[in-house]
């Protein structure tokens, strides 16, 4: 029996949610967890969406067409909005582990932004490279802080048994 229109809409809604989270730099595992589905289901739907993207790209080969330029501009703006949101989350977070995770997402976003823009304007390229360098430095600092916190917790666990015996 062919799938009903309702079932097709449900699948497209799920694909849309998956694609939005993927474009916000979530991993397939994170997407699966947040939507209550398996990672392989996420992978399958992303593959379908990529196939659609490839078909659209083939149809619109002319990179200077209005449709392609409009789509690229829209994608760049979405990535920049996501990056701004991630930086806000980073600033609001006090947990080193959360900050490190956010920085990894930011690096993914900067990488995506770089690929969307290509090697065009030297100023844009330098700005992106500077942002990636700063982000990597913050990731290193957050990772170091996380290690320090974990070492402190392990030290406290060793000290507690000594204090309880006195």
Count up the domains in the chain and report the number. Answer: 2
Q: Which of 71, 79, 74, 78 is nearest to 128 (CA)?
A: 79
What's 63's DSSP letter? T
Residue 76, pLDDT > 70, answer yes
What's 120's DSSP letter? -
Helix, strand, coil content of the chain in percent (nearest 5): 85, 0, 15
Do 41 and 74 reside in the same domain of the chain? no
Do 45 and 14 reside in the same domain of the chain? yes
Higher confidence at residue 70 or residue 166? 70
Rounded Cα distance, 44 and 41, in Å: 5
Do 148 and 118 reside in the same domain of the chain? yes
How would residue 23 be classed by pLDDT, with cut points 50, 70 and 90?
confident
> What tokens were used for 56?
């659209």
**What pLDDT is recorded for position 125?**
65
Domain that residue 54 falls in: 1-59
């Amino acid at each position: 029996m062919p799938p009903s229109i309702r079932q097709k809409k449900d699948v497209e809604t799920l694909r849309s949610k998956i694609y939005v989270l993927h474009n916000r730099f979530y991993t397939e595992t994170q997407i699966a967890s947040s939507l209550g589905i398996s990672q392989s289901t996420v992978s399958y739907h992303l593959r379908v969406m990529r196939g659609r993207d490839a078909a659209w790209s083939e149809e619109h080969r002319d990179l200077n067409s209005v449709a392609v330029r409009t789509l690229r501009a829209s994608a760049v703006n979405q990535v920049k909005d996501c990056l701004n949101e991630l930086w806000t989350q980073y600033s609001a977070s006090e947990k080193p582990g959360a900050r490190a995770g956010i920085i990894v997402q930011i690096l993914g976003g900067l990488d995506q932004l770089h690929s969307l823009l290509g090697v065009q304007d030297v100023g844009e390229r330098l700005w992106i490279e500077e942002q990636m360098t700063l982000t990597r430095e913050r990731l290193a600092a957050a990772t170091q802080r996380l290690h320090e916190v974990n070492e402190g917790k392990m030290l406290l666990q060793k000290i507690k048994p000594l204090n309880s015996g006195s």
